[in-house]
Amino acid sequence: MGKKNKPAKSQWAEVRGSVVHGRGMFAVKDIPEGTEVIKYLGERIDKDESNRRGHVLLDESKDTGGAQVYLFTLDDNWDLDGNFDWNTARLVNHSCEPNCEAQIDEDLKIWLVALREIAGGEELSFNYGFDLEDYRKHPCHCGSRKCVGYIAGEDYWPKLRRKLKKKKAKAERKAAKERAISAGQ
């Protein structure tokens, strides 16, 4: 890239080891609701470039098993690729019951904003907002009571729940059929 970017820092949070997967960001002090906790940095790219990078990242994530997708939709023309070491905020983990939210300001800058008061020591999280295209590749281990089992934007939850219900019903029908077959032998 040739860009010399300093890692994003925040007076509110720092990187620590995480029980979810590896690392995460944690509040170093109480954070009031509505605080812009840390800026989500990245490179602004057009939709064609974004699609290209998205596919490369998905191919890579097949090997690593991780959800290595840090592409954000900014508006109809632009996305933001946050897959850079200096984008400290990429270490914030996904949660189905997050305490932060990614908000885009009028200059198309992304901030992780506190959705509620966050106590010092709490891990920061936000909903990655993924669609359902590859949801099976992105299981969620956030551990919250609201966890839907996969990383997906809340708008997609009703659809995701229907899909999972169908999948479960299908598996149950298959199991019942197998039981019937073995009982008949």
Q: Which residue has the tokens 């609201």?
A: 146
**Closer by beta carbon to Zn ion, 110 or else 140:** 140
Question: In angstroms, what is the minimal distance from the CB of 96 to Zn ion?
Answer: 3
Collapsing DSSP to helix, strand or coil, 64 comes out as helix
Catalog residues that contact Zn ion under the rule CB under 5 A: 96, 140, 142, 147
Burial of 6 (0-12, 13-18, 19+ CB in 10 A): exposed
Q: Which of 53, 33, 36, 34 is nearest to 45 (CA)?
A: 53
Q: Which residue has the tokens 């064609």?
A: 48
**Closer by beta carbon to Zn ion, 97 or else 105:** 97
Question: In angstroms, what is the minimal distance from the CB of 42 to Zn ion?
Answer: 24
**Closer by beta carbon to Zn ion, 87 or else 125:** 125
Residue 48: both structure tokens together: 């064609």
Cβ distance 124 to 13 under 8 Å? yes
Question: In angstroms, what is the minimal distance from the CB of 167 to Zn ion?
Answer: 17
Instruction: Please report which helix (H) or strand (E) contains residue 93, including its range.
Output: strand 93-94
Question: In angstroms, what is the minimal distance from the CB of 35 to Zn ion?
Answer: 23
**Closer by beta carbon to Zn ion, 19 or else 175:** 19
**Closer by beta carbon to Zn ion, 104 or else 147:** 147
Question: In angstroms, what is the minimal distance from the CB of 54 to Zn ion?
Answer: 22
Q: Which of 96, 131, 126 is nearest to 111 (CA)?
A: 126
Cβ distance 51 to 73 under 8 Å? no
